[in-house]
Amino acid sequence: MGQMRGARRSVALFTGVTQILRPEAPGVQENTASGAGFWAALRQGDFLTPERVRVYIRILAVANLVGIGLAVCRAHGWLIPQELHDTTEFMSFYAAGRLVDAGQAAAVYLPATDIQGYIHSTDIPAGFAAIQQSLSGDAQIKLLGFFYPPVYWLICAPLAYLGFYQAYVVWVGLGVAAFLVLLRSLWGRWTLMWPAVAYFAAVKNAAVGENAFLSAVLVGFGLLALERRPLLAGALFGGLCYKPHFLLPLGIFLVARLQWRALLGMMVSGALLCGLAGVLFGWQSWTDYFTIVVPHAEWMFQHHGFAWGIQITPFSTVRLLGGNILLANIVQAFVMLLTSAALFGIARFGSANLRAAALVASFPLIVSVMLDYDLTICALGMVFLARQAIRTGFLPWEKTLLAAMFLLPLLVLACRTALNLPVDQVILAGFMLVLLLRLQAERRGLVRL
């Protein structure tokens, strides 16, 4: 009972904050008729008609495909002369797999000399740099680091038995197929294929060969299995151990739901995968990871500004705006605790779709490191909220915030990366507030469940 009272108090705190979004809140008055019309339009979202949305989505999809296609061609020097010596992130996965397959796993993590100096630098281990230069045939290629734990080699090593482009096609093809099947399972139809192509984070993830499809698929299918097969759901969640910081929101969610079997499944699955990596690649790789890679990655993401424009976290927002590391850590901790409390309350008392939407929307506000392509997972939050809204009717602000979330990856590129304006945090916070408004409506019986 004490836990329930505490959760209710946390929900009351956050739903109180959401009153600022309501035009009828005390002290909120429109100064002009035009201003009233503008805010009323945003509140109701009636300008987002189905016809308009379909047209906009197709325009964005075509623009994404053309833009990303040109970027990939430039990165590989296919159509445009290679002047930037660029590559895609998949190169680091493939290079790590090649070294592991050759019995040189230590070269992925270990610098040649001066480990302490390496930790506090932007350097790449010499062996890992050499394999990237060899594979690309470009001595001046933009070198990529590898900050994943050894468990991720369970994917990289098999892929590296293929040629580079064959491995890329297999990796991206499987990821896209699994992601589309997940969307089909959530929506019941294949009609989300156009929105998937129009969602910039998903297209960028495919273009650079990153792993956000895997993250989204593990979380999405885990949520679908949670109520009927909690152990299976937990096993899927445990697959995220290759990004261990992503397990924190899942842990909060499962504790709030009292899903102890799923929590057990997640821990056992993660432990088995990590143990398998230790057996196959040597336990020293885990020692190297925790003593070298983790502090090196921490230093890189805290001190090196290249990541602040593509990281979607409160910490990177403060650093992007000129704040020091102490202030950034304080803000990160504050937002993390606030969002965790909101997630706990929604997970405890919300409907199934609302709970799932809150979980995936909380990732950028809770985890310590999350890059722009990782916003692919937030696409699931939009799907879950839309599923619930279609059943019950859209509540105020939901249509507008759904549109803003859909445009979020493009806004990150246009505002955060290009202009150093982190508007993404405002949108993410607004989306969580909208979910709290829906929770309040559900608790008051204003919408049917």
d(CA 387, CA 235): 25
Cα-based distances in Å from 244 to 68, 148, 151, 153, 250: 29, 9, 10, 14, 11
**What digits encode the pLDDT tens for the residues 159-182?**
999 999 999 999 999 999 999 999
Q: With the CA atoms of 409, 411, 416 and 418 taken in that order, what torsion angle do they form, in degrees rounded to the nearest 10?
A: 110
SS3 content of the chain, % helix, strand, coil (to 5): 75, 0, 25
Counted residue by residue, the chain has a size of 449
> In angstroms, rounded to a whole number, what is the distance separating the alpha carbons of residues 97 and 91?
10
Cβ atoms of residues 221 and 232 within 8 Å: no
Longest dimension (CA), the chain: 71
Per-residue burial over 16-32, b if 16 or more Cβ lie within 10 Å, else e, is eebeebeeeeeeeeeee
pLDDT score recorded for residue 94: 95
Q: Which residue, 196, 136, 123, is CA-closest to 164?
A: 136
pLDDT digits (tens, 9 = 90+) for 390-425: 999 999 999 999 999 999 999 998 888 888 889 999
**Interval 306-355: pLDDT, tens:** 678 888 999 999 999 999 999 999 999 999 999 999 999 999 999 999 99
Mean pLDDT in residue range 103-132 = 85
Give the least confident one: 7-11, 62-66, 237-241, 438-442: 7-11
**Which carries the bigger pLDDT value, residue 112 or residue 378?**
378
- CA-to-CA dists, residue 113 to 99, 121, 217, angstroms: 19, 13, 40
Dump pLDDT digits (tens) for 54-87. 999 999 999 988 887 777 776 666 665 555 566 7
Helices (H) and strands (E) in the chain, counts: 24, 0
Encoded amino acid at 210, one letter:
E
The pLDDT value recorded for residue 118 is 81
Quote the pLDDT of residue 198: 92
Least-confidence region, from 5-14, 200-209, 355-364? 5-14
Identify the pLDDT of residue 170: 97
Q: Give the list of residues 6+ apart from residue 305 with CB closer than 8 angstroms, or none.
A: 319, 320
CA torsion sign, 107 to 294 to 274 to 203?
negative
Summary mean pLDDT of the chain: 87
Q: How do the domains of the chain map onto residue ranges?
A: 79-443
Integer angstrom CA distances of residue 158 from 82, 93, 163, 242 = 29, 11, 11, 16
| Contact by Cβ (8 Å): 155, 99 | no
Neighbours of 139 (CB within 10 A): 9
pLDDT value of residue 313: 93
Burial 334-363 (b: 16+ CB within 10 A, else e): ebbebbbbbbbbbbbbbbebbbbbbbbbbb
Amino acid 32: pLDDT: 46
Tens digit of each residue's pLDDT (9 = 90 or more) over 208-250:
899 999 999 999 999 999 999 999 999 999 999 999 999 999 9
Q: Tell me phi and psi for residue 311, to 5 degrees.
A: -85, 140
At 36, the pLDDT band (50, 70, 90 cuts) reads confident
The H-or-E segment that residue 281 falls in is helix 260-281
pLDDT at 384 over 90: yes
Handedness of CA 102, 104, 107, 109 (dihedral sign): positive
Please give the pLDDT value at position 224.
97
- Cα 143 to its chain centre, rounded Å, is 23
Least confident span in 40-49, 92-101, 124-133: 40-49
